[in-house]
Amino acid sequence: MIKKIGFIGLGIMGKPMGKNLIKAGYQLIVSDYNKEAAKELKELGAEVESTPKVIAEKSDIVITMLPNSPNVKNVVLGENGIIEGAHEGLIYVDMSSIAPVVSQEVYRALIEKGVEMLDAPVSGGEPKAIDGTISVMVGGSKEGFEQVKEVLAAMAGSVVHVGEVGAGNVTKLANQVIVALNIAAVSEAFVLAQQAGVDPESVYQAIRGGLAGSTVLDAKAPMMLERNFKPGFRINLHIKDLTNALETSHEFGAPTPLTAAVLEMMYSLRADGHDLEDHSSLLKYYEKLANLEVTR
């Protein structure tokens, strides 16, 4: 029976996810790396510890929500890492978005210590992390999935098992490709409308109920029209994901020319200082080319 959950990575996504676990009645042990966030969760009843090793020793499950592959490898396999706190029955769930090959590398190291691992990246951004409706795509054994499904459901609206370890992150890369290309398409369409003298807000309202309608359109079009680029998911993190997607596509020989094109757009935005903005700021790439600003 799962009683204590270790949670490492209290960022934009991790902090509200941790809060939802507490709301669901789980005992949480969090890392003190982000001291303000740790203090906030401590006030809600979480225990705070200083190293992944100690968190693992005291937990039934350890969840990580970290920026990239090197962070995960360091927290799991580094000095005072999760692997040093491994014990019988421990389950490790990495909810970060990282390279699938790194997930498999970490899995191989942990399985030697008898630790079950699942890679379970998420989609939905900060708003869905806050309201507990993120989508979780899980790679790992079916037995391990059944053990953690209820825990993941406390943070999510959808939890789907997609295959063995690494499959979760392959699915997340596919998700990130689709999201990025959708945002670029919306940006391109709005600049076309503005340049042609048609109100982009009217275009959005006219098309959202048709075939062009999507969750991405409904989430990002209002942000673009309000010129609200406060990050729910930052450009620099999407650069990381699309870079992982391209590397994975090259490894398996899958053509991804549109992904490569949008990645170059994001690099351009980073060069212009927009990398900490929401990925809806892809609009600014097109605005710069057209020398205009999309307005309501």
Q: For position 30, what pLDDT does the model report?
A: 97
pLDDT band at 97 (very low <50, low <70, confident <90, very high): very high
- Assess contact for 62 and 41: CB atoms under 8 A: no
Best CA proximity match to 64, nearest among 101, 18, 20 = 18
Note the pLDDT tens digit of each residue in 184-235: 999 999 999 999 999 999 999 999 999 999 999 999 999 999 999 999 889 9
Q: For position 84, what pLDDT does the model report?
A: 97
Note the pLDDT tens digit of each residue in 230-239: 998 899 999 9
Mean pLDDT computed over 83-101: 96
For residue 13, give the DSSP letter: T
Say if residue 125's pLDDT is above 90: no
Phi, psi dihedrals of residue 200, rounded to the nearest 5°: -60, -35
Same fold, 4-163 and 170-290: no
Note the pLDDT tens digit of each residue in 223-276: 999 999 999 889 999 999 999 999 999 999 999 999 999 999 999 999 999 999
Token pair for 84 = 């040093």
Which residue(s) pair with 161 in the sheet?
138
Q: For position 108, what pLDDT does the model report?
A: 97
Dist. CA 109–CA 117, nearest whole Å: 10
Q: For position 2, what pLDDT does the model report?
A: 78
Place of tokens 């029209």: 225
| Mean predicted lDDT score pLDDT of the chain | 96
Q: For position 214, what pLDDT does the model report?
A: 96
- Active centre residues (catalytic): 172
Mean pLDDT computed over 26-55: 96
Q: For position 105, what pLDDT does the model report?
A: 97
Domain map of the chain by residue range? Answer: 4-163, 170-290
pLDDT band at 111 (very low <50, low <70, confident <90, very high): very high
pLDDT band at 124 (very low <50, low <70, confident <90, very high): confident
Mean pLDDT computed over 78-101: 96
Q: For position 14, what pLDDT does the model report?
A: 96
Three-state SS string over 30-69 comes to EECCCHHHHHHHHCCCCEEECCHHHHHHCCCEEEECCCCH
CATH of domain 4-163: 3.40.50.720
Backbone φ/ψ region at 196: left (φ over 0), alpha (ψ -120 to 50), beta: alpha
Say if residue 75's pLDDT is above 80: yes
pLDDT band at 63 (very low <50, low <70, confident <90, very high): very high
pLDDT band at 32 (very low <50, low <70, confident <90, very high): confident
**Under CATH, to which class is 170-290 assigned?**
mainly alpha
